[in-house]
Structure 1
């Protein structure tokens, strides 16, 4: 039998008994003040402090059920001399301590490497999540790294029913982790399981459906969705637009740090110029109000923040779609304003689609698909559409040729020919 002890969230230490437990072992954890049992995960949680850990370990040691090998390990766990001098009975049971300190160090190193390589913030968060999840569930077995990764990916697909893109994202994170953090030989990953991505035809709204959705939105939410359709931007690209990204003279919008960390320019729809100017005027009034109250700072890109920290209060760096309410740091008392959360637009679009009676599985990203499809229908070159969408490979853009009006829609079914006779 084994006792797994590791740090948990919410300032707690988790204790799990693998292979059964005795009454003495149960009493050992019950002797710790403020302990809590989690029946869902089948673990005990004790306060994350030295006193609670010492209390539990001393009581476990006194049961005589475990053999802790190595004098150094004993000194780290039981510094009291009277405990060290006591003879420990030889048992088959083993006490395995896993405080995850090494895991934390590896995760910190992973983060530093990702930042050094200038990966996007979203990619950094995703890679850290998958590496942390893998380290939490992996077993201390003699199996190879490849076998452990395959077992992890199989669990994602079979038990958690995650999609192929999500599974491959987890695989990419783990391969990066083992290559750059643990310096594993790439030859060890020859037989890694790769999920096959299914090719899906994108959901596309007709022009009438697009207008119907617009008519059921108001204010800045309508303006935001109109920009999604009018420029083909991704949702996160729209939300991170700043005032300085709008160029009314050239009728262009600069998208910075898009997917893959790439910048690009898209057209500024002529029909939205007056709306955008009115919206920016409202944003400026809101910013001036924040400045008058002693705030008005915005989060800057790291390079700008270090070189010119005073720019955080400049209007040109403010978000194009700021939050309604300021955030507040409870420790420092500092207040600021971030851009609106993506869920606000997602919920608004979902409701507008339902109210319009549209049965398609439409979302904010559907307007990007509709933008590309309608441009191709209007006769624009696919390379032009590729550049506007920010695709690295034209084959990605080619998927929109499958939903043009030149496909199955223009073919007369043989059934219609029979019924017409």
Structure 2
């Protein structure tokens, strides 16, 4: 605790600049917390060396110091945090260079398919949504599984973003970019139910679409717990899926896979997901086991 206080004193201006910069850039609250935690650890490694004087060797040295306890994905996330940190300092004229930009990312497994639910599994999982707030929780599940929203985007939804006459939803995505999503009829139905049954917010200024029992905007963690609870019940009846790491983001994976399986143009899927690059969407162009089996039955192997 004392060490953390000392870091706050020594690196007060860079930390404040980074915090402001991330908020201004539209980073989610979860990402801001993770990145700040990474940067605190990095600054501790610098051991009072001014951030402006740190070079590529310092960044690599820090990453190497963590390699025994962190995998390639964690290392790359740490590197991204440091790159963002220096980008903020350059933006606020507190540094002139970004030493992390010359550090290469680790190569991760590129042939590993995303975890997702097949269309029938996704439909069955819906039957496990119940309880007092069934309609609200169904709407949350549907927005991620059948519209591809990120958990942070569900969290940020306001009543004003629901355009009933147009049948669309305005979504504030990464980088504070807006995306208008056409809504399937069933999703519209449950959003209208939620709007009617919505708990009156504690604050008169609160426009949140999803409100907690305490009258506050439903937090990201609360949304994650709702979805985790649904998947826990679902897995109890499906022991073969016990090891699958199902989460809010896996619902988004399921949506993307379902769209491509229905031969929706990948450029359209990219826009629906709010991806900046089509290469990000390409990860969902995997084939499943059933498609492989079907393809193999087309071969005529001679009877020798």
Greater helix share, 1 or 2? Answer: 2
Residue 167 of structure 1 is aligned with which of 66, 71, 78?
Answer: 78
Kept after mapping to 2: 8 A contact 1:375/1:385: yes
Kept after mapping to 2: 8 A contact 1:153/1:171: no
| Residues 105-160 of structure 1: per-residue CA shift (max 9 Å, x gap) | 32113333444x53424354444332222112333579953222111111233234
Please show how residues 61-100 of structure 1 align to structure 2 within 5 Å.
Answer: none
Cα displacement (A) at 1:387 = 0.7
What secondary structure sits across from 1:348 in the alignment?
helix
Unmatched 5+ stretches in structure 2: none
Matched, 1:272 2:179: no
Cα displacement (A) at 1:392 = 1.2
Kept after mapping to 1: 8 A contact 2:28/2:152: no
* Separation of aligned partners in 2, 1:167 and 1:407: 37
Specify whether residues 361 and 110 from structure 1 end up closer, same or farther in structure 2 by C-alpha distance, changes over 3 A only.
Answer: closer
Residue 408 of structure 1 is aligned with which of 250, 272, 292?
Answer: 292
Specify whether residues 125 and 245 from structure 1 end up closer, same or farther in structure 2 by C-alpha distance, changes over 3 A only.
Answer: same
Residue 339 of structure 1 is aligned with which of 218, 228, 234?
Answer: 218
Unmatched 5+ stretches in structure 1: 1-5, 14-97, 298-311, 327-336
Matched, 1:213 2:92: no
What secondary structure sits across from 2:194 in the alignment?
helix
How many corresponding residue pairs?
A: 289
Residue 253 of structure 1 is aligned with which of 166, 169, 173?
Answer: 169
Specify whether residues 356 and 168 from structure 1 end up closer, same or farther in structure 2 by C-alpha distance, changes over 3 A only.
Answer: farther
Matched, 1:194 2:105: yes
What secondary structure sits across from 1:324 in the alignment?
coil
Greater strand share, 1 or 2? Answer: 1
Matched, 1:378 2:285: no
Kept after mapping to 2: 8 A contact 1:7/1:100: no
* Separation of aligned partners in 2, 1:177 and 1:134: 15
Cα-Cα RMSD = 3.3
| Residues 224-254 of structure 1: per-residue CA shift (max 9 Å, x gap) | 1122112111111112211111112211111
* TM-score using structure 2 length: 0.80
Q: Which entry has the higher C-alpha Rg, 1 or 2?
A: 1
Cα displacement (A) at 1:325 = 2.0
Structure 1 partner of 2:155? 239
Specify whether residues 107 and 163 from structure 1 end up closer, same or farther in structure 2 by C-alpha distance, changes over 3 A only.
Answer: closer
Q: Does 1 or 2 have the higher relative contact order (CA < 8 Å, sep 6+)? A: 2
Matched, 1:364 2:248: yes
| Residues 373-404 of structure 1: per-residue CA shift (max 9 Å, x gap) | 22222222111111101111112212222236
Cα displacement (A) at 1:178 = 5.8
Structure 2 partner of 1:139? 47
Specify whether residues 140 and 106 from structure 1 end up closer, same or farther in structure 2 by C-alpha distance, changes over 3 A only.
Answer: closer
Please show how residues 41-56 of structure 1 align to structure 2 within 5 Å.
Answer: none
Kept after mapping to 2: 8 A contact 1:373/1:401: yes
Cα displacement (A) at 1:417 = 5.9
* Separation of aligned partners in 2, 1:114 and 1:108: 10
* Separation of aligned partners in 2, 1:156 and 1:179: 26
Please show how residues 391-402 of structure 1 align to structure 2 within 5 Å.
Answer: 391-402=275-286
* Separation of aligned partners in 1, 2:77 and 2:97: 24
Kept after mapping to 2: 8 A contact 1:216/1:355: no
Cα displacement (A) at 1:274 = 2.9
Moved more, 228-237 or 158-167: 158-167
| Residues 35-63 of structure 1: per-residue CA shift (max 9 Å, x gap) | xxxxxxxxxxxxxxxxxxxxxxxxxxxxx
